[in-house]
Structure 1
């Protein structure tokens, strides 16, 4: 944890935060297309995620690719991120989490795991989550947004939790660690529904347009392998 100057000349601590962005899915419920490339206002969702993380001052970002890696990679390549590929994306989200957590190289205070298909998430939301982590109750190591009593994303946790996850069995990811250590988990209770909105199905796309008045569109000319 570094220190930076306050306006009045004093010092306060600044968390060094890394992020893992999960973008390895097959999009099987959306016709086998990479949902992270859906566009809102002409901007792919994964780019929106990376812009939000950058705007919140996240120090290191790893993007985990898998299915559709060859079409997703050129979209994110201009960003200062580390790209890694899950060699077995069909093994599930836990496997992608572990690949991403292992690829973080910096000396971090906390790690944030984000989805690549949350259309409305912005830098202010990420900043609020990091702020909630800073103010977490004593003895807790994981903070997640809770909206209307339901969990949302992203999730943020200590670098020590990252190390424990990677030291565990291959089936252990953030959710499994949280389940085994409920006393170390605290909700960030908020009414901000941006933490809950993601897209998995055609019905999600229709609901998003109905509720926001904005449509998510596939990029022109998107061709994915059969």
Structure 2
């Protein structure tokens, strides 16, 4: 696929890592320990290894501590002062941080899904290269994350994103245009919401 400007497709990575982890007793997910390092590092590294550039990381709760403890060299760090209103505010802030011409699409990854690795990201990047303007990882045929959104959809996504639903309503309304990319053989969509889910921070692989 070649964009309307004649340039080949490129995909920016966007990590949503601003939440406070309320159901985890107020432990921000970005700072959860994974192999001795903050979880947010894993998400940023996965995006880069999967073919995304640049990589932007949206921060909110405990932002100062994340900036101090996490090695996010090479990433653009985006402050979201409205993080407490829900994931949608982080999505809007992240998309707004991507200047015109930065990329032909953005691949949005949640910080709390450590079983999604670089191969799942690479499959979505390839789908965009093959012409997909909207794509989502699928697990057993069911839509999940990460999600890829072409640049010409960003404004509409920012307008419709509310609360903790992120781009969910937009993707539902545009499901006829959505390409599902099966990733169940290389990744799992489990996320960390409660104390019981902390088991996901054990051994993992790409």
The bucket for the TM-score relative to the shorter chain is 0.7 to 0.9
Return the match for 1:152 from 144, 154, 158.
144
What is the distance in 2 between the residues matched to 1:84 and 1:190? Answer: 28
Provide the rounded CA distance (Å) in 1 between the counterparts of 2:69 and 2:116.
18
Distance in structure 2 (CA, Å) of the matches to 1:170 and 1:149: 24
Q: 2:127 aligns with which of 113, 128, 132?
A: 132
C-alpha change, 1:106 and 1:61, in structure 2 (3 Å) is farther
Q: 2:185 & 2:65 partners in 1: Cα distance?
A: 32
- Cα distance change, pair 15–75 in 1 and its aligned pair in 2 (3 A): farther
- The counterpart of 1:56, out of the listed 50, 57, 68, is 50
1:97: how far off? 0.3
Secondary structure at the aligned position of 1:156 is classed as strand
Q: What's the secondary structure of 2:171's corresponding residue?
A: helix
> Normalising to structure 1: TM-score of the pair?
0.77
Match of 2:155 in 1: 163
Q: Does 1:47 align with 2:13?
A: no
Match of 1:219 in 2: none
1 CA distance for matches of 2:195 and 2:186? 20
How many residues matched? 198
Shift of the 62–204 alpha-carbon distance from structure 1 to 2, 3 Å rule, reads same
1:30-57 deviation digits (Å, cap 9, x = unpaired): 1101122222222322111111122223
Q: Which of the two has higher C-alpha Rg?
A: 1
> 2:77 aligns to what SS in structure 1?
strand
